[in-house]
Structure 1
Amino acid sequence: MAVRYSVLASGSTGNSLYIETQQQRLLIDCGLSGKKMIDLLAQIGRKPEDVDAILVTHEHSDHVKGLGVFARRFRTPVYANERTWQAMTSVTGDIPLEQKFEFQANTTKKFGNLDIESFSVSHDAADPMFYIAHDGDRKLTLLTDLGYVSEHIKGLIRDSDAYVMEANHDTEMLMMGRYPWSVKRRILGDTGHISNDESGIALTEVLGNRTKKIYLAHLSKDNNMKELARMSVGQKLESTGLKIGRDLSLFDTDPDRATQLTAI
């Protein structure tokens, strides 16, 4: 069986990605309540007790809100880097020592037949990192919650089969919106979030012949719309000569509904 995945939830209110092979079933982040996480897994026909491990990107509550409850109830091993472990305890509560494992940034760990590569990003968290799932020459990249896409990251994620990619905000909506300037400055800064246009530009620089699926993720509920994100990113991609729907597919994600379980 190839690698299969579902974006269980994505947005400013909660985030989680499910990945499976014949040997492993993983969650990356657990940012909704324990009850909602069970519901989201049920949407793709999976049970929480079947999850082999949870990998954490960073300690913000929209990524770890349900982690403590889920891990304690189902005795799920949890992997995070040292500084993230220290920073997220106030949100997750105590997790039994035998379920706590370190996964440092810029390293690779094997989970069954999956190699999971972690890489650091620029975001206002203790030690944020995201992941690339490798299965042979197949490659799935998760990249949200970062202020900019560095040349180093572009090199790591280039020519992935599928991307779950941040398109957090429309810059004009953000600037015209109700957020105080301090929050706007944080979102627009180098440790904030990338916009629709920034996402589209970065994608044009990393897409390869293998790339067939892009999921637009972590959309702000106040400063973005699905249609606007699709249009902005789609225009950037098609400016390179690609045709959405012919050469690759562009998908929405939702804060409370799982995407279809799909093979890379």
Structure 2
Amino acid sequence: MSLQFSVLASGSTGNAIFVETDSHSFLVDAGLSGKQMEALFQQIDRDMSKLSGILVTHEHSDHIKGVGIVARKYKLPIYANQKTWQAMDPLIGQVPTEQKFTFDMETVKTFGGLDIESFGVSHDAAEPMFYVFHYGQKKLVLITDTGYVSDRMKGLISNADAYVFESNHDVQMLRMGRYPWNIKRRILSDVGHVSNEDAAIAMAEVAGDRTKSFYLAHLSQDNNMKDLARMAVSQTLEGRGIRVGDQFQLYDTDPKTPTILTAV
């Protein structure tokens, strides 16, 4: 049984993740234009028309920019919770009713042998939620766009094989940077984004015996850098007795280039 994924794009300019099993495939968010989304799928040698649907995490534009376009063109079902639908509906254009599906928070939807579990996060959106994919003995967790990782979240996402995990900003870069204070305060708040160090602390607490990889995701283009994120996360983990490369690997994601399609 094969569970594979690619982080197609990750960052403040647009987010999209592709997940596939032997019989189903899903796009989690489509925060880029339809043309950009098609180019990303070509790079991983996959056909958008064969998608089983689009799973939406929340209504911010860097997650839904291409949702309506892609869904209309390829006649794909869209899954989101009710509050997200209410916030997103006016932003994605007309979508036929038969393509609209509700996926409530803290529930599981089953597609063949694939169980997709939704869970709430702490972000300034209507009802933001992310997903855990269970397929056979494999577990893949997607978690970005959260101001902190609560004990409840940690319990749901612990001991996965692979994680796409937010490592949004370096606190010093953010504090010293060009953003107005109200934006800085929002990012640093409990409904903003997780810093490199806080991400690493949460990683140390959720990683288990079977954990092989963390993909550092949703890096701010103004307040972070790949090398800095990797170094900060590695140092924080080492301070907690975890050597990167021994227990698990860290991987980069990119706003424009997909990660290699990888088996969990």
TM-score, length-normalised on structure 2?
0.98
Match of 2:234? 234
Give the Cα separation in 2 of the matches to 1:246 and 1:204.
13
Residue deviations 1:112-152, cap 9 Å, x none?
21100000111000000000000132110000000110000
Q: Which amino acid aligns with 1:146?
A: T
Match of 2:5? 5
Match of 1:257? 257
Q: Is the deviation greater in 237-246 or in 143-152? A: 237-246
Which secondary structure state, in structure 2, belongs to the residue aligned with residue 7 of structure 1? strand
Match of 2:93? 93
Give the Cα separation in 1 of the matches to 2:13 and 2:263.
26
Match of 1:190? 190
Residue deviations 1:59-99, cap 9 Å, x none?
00000000000000000110000110110123211111010
Which secondary structure state, in structure 2, belongs to the residue aligned with residue 237 of structure 1? helix
Match of 1:143? 143
Cα root mean square deviation, aligned:
0.9
1:212-223 equivalences under 5 Å are: 212-223=212-223
Give the Cα separation in 2 of the matches to 1:51 and 1:175.
41
Q: Which amino acid aligns with 2:34?
A: G
Shift of residue 236 of structure 1? Answer: 1.9
Give the Cα separation in 2 of the matches to 1:113 and 1:27.
17
Give the Cα separation in 2 of the matches to 1:191 and 1:80.
20
1:27-38 equivalences under 5 Å are: 27-38=27-38
Uncovered stretches (5+) of structure 1, i.e. residues with no partner? none
Match of 1:108? 108
Which secondary structure state, in structure 2, belongs to the residue aligned with residue 127 of structure 1? coil
Which secondary structure state, in structure 1, belongs to the residue aligned with residue 130 of structure 2? strand
Give the Cα separation in 2 of the matches to 1:191 and 1:246.
33
Give the Cα separation in 1 of the matches to 2:22 and 2:135.
11
Match of 2:51? 51
Q: Which amino acid aligns with 2:248?
A: L
Give the Cα separation in 2 of the matches to 1:136 and 1:25.
15
Give the Cα separation in 2 of the matches to 1:241 and 1:190.
27
Give the Cα separation in 1 of the matches to 2:43 and 2:236.
32
Which secondary structure state, in structure 2, belongs to the residue aligned with residue 11 of structure 1? coil
Give the Cα separation in 2 of the matches to 1:132 and 1:220.
24
Match of 2:22? 22
Uncovered stretches (5+) of structure 2, i.e. residues with no partner? none
Q: How many residues align?
A: 264
Match of 1:160? 160
Give the Cα separation in 1 of the matches to 2:226 and 2:40.
20
Give the Cα separation in 1 of the matches to 2:179 and 2:119.
30
Match of 2:175? 175
Residue deviations 1:192-251, cap 9 Å, x none?
001000000000111101000100000000000000100011112223333322321100
Asked whether the equivalents of residues 204 and 242 of structure 2 are also in contact (C-alpha less than 8 Å), the reply is no
Give the Cα separation in 1 of the matches to 2:25 and 2:260.
16
Percent of pairs with identical residues: 59
Q: Is the deviation greater in 253-262 or in 83-92? A: 83-92
